[in-house]
Structures are given as structure tokens and as C-alpha cells.
Amino acid sequence: MRYKSSRTPHLRYLLLDSSRLYCYSFLDKLTEEYERRKAIFAQHNWDNIVSIPPEEYMPIILVILDEFDVMSEAIKENEEYKIKLQDIVSKGRKFGFRIIFSTQKYTSGSSGLTQTARINLNARMAMYAPDQDEIKQTISVPKLKEEEVRLIQNMTPYHVLYRQADKTSSYRLNYIENFYVDDADLDRRDQWMAQLGRGMKRSESFDFRNIASYVDKKCVVIDGITEERFTDKRDVFRECARQYQSGFAAQTTDKLIFPGNPCAFDKAQPLILTAEEYQNALLFCDYTGNNAKYLCDVVCSVLRSARMANLKTEIWAPPRDICLNSKAIEGYWAGSENYDEISAVSQRLRELRGQIDAGEKVNRFIAVFNFPKLVRQMERKKTAGGGMTGGSAAGRGSALGIDLSNPFGGGEDPIEAGYKLSLQMKAGGSAAQEPTNPMDDFFYLLQWGPESGLHFLINADSYAGLKAAGCAESVFPHVLAFRMNGADADAILDNYSRTAKRLEEGVFMYTDRKAIRMFIPYNNEDLIRHQ
């Protein structure tokens, strides 16, 4: 792409994502800077950008929105973001904002602009178009003179009609020739660029005394449309973790997990697992279409992040689960401690619980594929040692003092209902010594495991399946989801259900019940065996 290959050192961000969510995130970022500058100006009684003392670093922000019709289409029905863009266009100039809109059709490509915003587009340029009304609407001059009409009628390709308003709000039109450099004449363009660059000197910091100096902005390219490789982002993850750690006076046990590339302006947005009760993640995704591939990429990213956070990783799955055929999952399976036999999973649950009861630090992250199916098979099978038989969700809930057959029914919250008995189990009471079902161990680990460094990523394909497994979604403070149906979204995500129903192809969402954000899975096909 030409934008990527022809970057100048003055460019700070190159944003190549055209999704609706990204348009919103971009405008949020601009609005944040707009409000920050607005507060600084008010504090110092500055009138506009030119009244700032030269030693103060407050650079002009030039925003170029190429193919603006894409953003326009994304925000035209959203009044909140139309107003945000209006404020930056109509009031942002005094704070240093300069915006260039580029679109092939002004009439249909500017529907995201309010009338107030349009009025503030004083400098306008129109290139040749077969439809002369399109040119007239673009330059928007109230009364065209006869010679100006002839200019429009005689326009040729690559020439530009330029309109600028003076201080009296009267308009004048100029006809600019040779505005466009054809792709076949790249040498000429390169000569122009070289001429502009001669005499410029790179500087490590801003120097207001030397306008011929420039600072290399180290351009960040953000392309949320394509999958990026997890491996290529590891330095970003480490820096994010370092900055997070620096905010604590002492060492923190919080773990930063990176599930995918955010559909937002930020370079990395981890979910944070603490050492508190129930600090696990729920991942909703079925196996239809390409979902299994996306699911495996997300799971691998989470596991690789866990490894970077010094957690050992495991994968649990029902026998012959389709996700075990994934190339990325194979890379983990060959070199890790994993379980796809029901009796082995049951035994592993018992081992982990024994470690936690003994006060040991487990320090593991376990991804569980198709949790409802795994539970169903565990219920049907007696463990090799006998005595741990299957049972209904309600039966398992009785062992914990929780009505898990109806976790959202009336009465006490399911977590609170079993809290006292769960404390007894943790302390080594009779319930802990003689469990009736391996699922009792599972629920015990979900609650108390995080205190010993044990965290789970639980995959479920539906709310009904999760509920039938006897697990209330309220025990998961972190939820990741992909293309949920309406009933599941309403049951699990409440205020964020509308977003979950409208996710685009290949886009996941994450919520911690306080905010919501979108991400694209990282590509993990670079995983190799025995890594």
C-alpha cells in the first residue's frame, strides 16, 4: 500500500482501519486531546494556538481523512459522534486542529457532517467530475459569476478548482493546474520531495528557534483489518506490562493477558487477572464456520500471554474435540501438559485442589475447550477410584450450597448462597475431604484458584450449555465473546448485548462488566512443535 511505503518522518499515526468501531475510537481519541487542550488554554488564558509562548510544546495537529465517505457512513446515524466531529471542526482550530477531508463525492460522502460542520469548511477544492452539479455543491459558492461557471464547464482531469473565504466571508475561486502527479511520473514526485527535504535537519526534541528542524515521530501503523502475528507484538506486550508494573510501589501478582489486536486507537489492551476470587475468563464462541479457527487463535494468544507472565499452561478438552486439530493448538499440545481424557481431567482436578488445600502456589493458566460437553461427559463417567459419581446441576449445587439449576432465579445470589460452605471447604472441612463429584473440585478451583496463581479460560458455546453445566456466568468477571445470538447476549451481557449481536466477521468483544472493547485475533500459525 502506497501510504505505508511513502511515510514522512513527521507522520505520527497511519490508521488503515475502516470499521465502524474504529471510527468511533479514533474520534474518541481526537476528542480526548481536544478536551485536554481546551482545559490548558483556559488555565493559561490563551486565546488561540498562535498566542502560546514559543517555548511551550503544543504542535499543530493535522488530520487527513482520506475516503471520508467511509467514516461519514459509520457516524451518520450516531448523533453523539457527529457532534464530536462537529466540535473539532468548528471549535478545534483555535486549539491547533487542522482537518483535511477527502472524498470522491461531496454530496453523498459528507452525510456524517452536521450543517454547522459544513459551514466551517471554508477552504474547498473540487477536481473534475462528469456531474457539474457535484462540483458546484463541493465548492458551495452562493452565486457563481459567469466566468466561474465557464471554469467549471471547461475543467479537465487532474486540475483543481479552489475556493477560499477571506475575513469578510466573501469567496474567491482559483483554478490550479498541474495539481496531480501521475503514477507514471514518480521521478518528478520524488524530486519535489527531495527539494522539500533539503535544508531540513533532524532533531531529537522540538526546537521553536529552528523551523527548519524536525522530530522523527516514529510512525505507528495501525491496521485493525488484518490479523497480526502474536510473535511480532511481543515487544509491545512487554512494554505494556512494564508500564503497568511501574504503577505499583511493590511487586504485583496481577497478570496481563493479550487476547487480540484491539479495534481501537490503543496499541495494546490487556485483560488483567488479579489474585482475587473468581478471577477467570469466560469465552463464548461456537464452532460453526470459521469460528473454530478464530477461537483457537484467541486461546493461543491468551496462553502465550500467560507464559510471558510466568504461568505454566495447560489445555483441557473433551476427547476428539475439533479444536485439537488446529495447527496452533498442536504446537501447544506437543510440548505442554494437557488432558483430553475424562478420567485424566478428573484426576487433575483432584491434584490441583490438593495443592491449593496444602497452601502451595500453583501458578498455572488452563484453557478449557467446550466446557459444557466436558462436564456432560464427566457426569456420565465414574472416576477410576470410584465414589465420585455424576449428578445433576442441582445436585452439585447442593454440595456447594448453591442452586445452580437456576443461578439467576429469585432469592440469594448464587455466589453468596454458597460462600460460607465454600469457606469451610477451603479450610479443610468435611465437604473438602469427601467430595461427591469432580465438578465440586472444579467450582472450588474457579473460586479459590486465583489466590494460588491458578486461572481458567472457560469456553462455552451457549448460555444454555453453561447453565446446564451448573455454572453461573456471574462467577466470571471477564467475558470474551464472538457472534452471540440474541438470547445468549441478553442473558449474559445485559447492557452490552446489543454490541455482541452486531459483531462483524472475525471480531471478538471483551468486557469486564464496566466497559467494552473489540479486538481481532492475533495470528498464531507461527507456533511450532515443542516450543
| 447-473: average pLDDT | 88
pLDDT bucket at 417, cuts 50 / 70 / 90? very low
- Highest mean pLDDT (candidates 17-26, 31-40, 155-164, 221-230): 31-40
Which cell is 452 given? 494460588
Q: Is the pLDDT of residue 406 over 50?
A: no
Least confident interval from 78-87, 97-106, 224-233, 301-310: 224-233
**Taking CA 409 as the corner, what is the angle to CA 516 and CA 502, rounded to the nearest 5 degrees?**
30
On whether the CB atoms of residues 381 and 344 are closer than 8 A, the answer is no
pLDDT bucket at 178, cuts 50 / 70 / 90? low
Nearest to 298 by CA among 52, 524, 59: 524
Choice between 147 and 493, residue whose per-residue pLDDT is larger: 147
Instruction: Write down the mean pLDDT value for the chain.
Output: 79
Q: Is the pLDDT of residue 272 over 60?
A: yes
Q: Is the pLDDT of residue 218 over 70?
A: yes
pLDDT at 408: 34
Cα 508 to Cα 224: distance, rounded to the nearest angstrom: 12
Which cell is 249 given? 510501589
Least confident interval from 36-50, 344-358, 381-395: 381-395
E strand residue ranges, 436-477: 454-460
Q: Which residues contact 120 (CB under 8 A, 6 or more apart)?
A: 89, 90
The dihedrals phi and psi of 381, each to the nearest 5 degrees, come to -110, 130
> How many CB atoms lie under 10 A from the CB of residue 295?
27
> What are the tens digits of pLDDT across the range 320-332?
888 888 877 887 7
Q: Is the pLDDT of residue 531 over 70?
A: no
The dihedrals phi and psi of 66, each to the nearest 5 degrees, come to -75, 145
Q: Is the pLDDT of residue 508 over 80?
A: yes
> What are the tens digits of pLDDT across the range 112-129?
899 999 988 888 888 888
Q: Is the pLDDT of residue 502 over 80?
A: no
**Rounded to 5, what percent of the chain is helix, strand, coil?**
45, 15, 40
Cα 422 to Cα 504: distance, rounded to the nearest angstrom: 41
The verdict on domain 231-521 having CATH code 3.40.50.261 is no
Nearest to 399 by CA among 391, 387, 408, 407: 391
Report CA Rg, the chain. 29
Q: Which amino acid is at 88?
A: I
CA dist 61 → 37, 94, 376, 381 (Å) = 11, 11, 58, 65
The rounded percent of the chain whose pLDDT value lies above 90 is 27
- Highest mean pLDDT (candidates 58-72, 173-187, 190-204): 58-72
Count Cα atoms within 13 angstroms, Cβ side, for 356.
Answer: 27
pLDDT bucket at 488, cuts 50 / 70 / 90? confident
Q: Is the pLDDT of residue 478 over 90?
A: yes
In what helix (H) or strand (E) does residue 347 lie, and over which residues does it extend? helix 342-357
- Residue boundaries of the structural domains of the chain: 2-121+181-222, 231-521
| 384-398: average pLDDT | 39
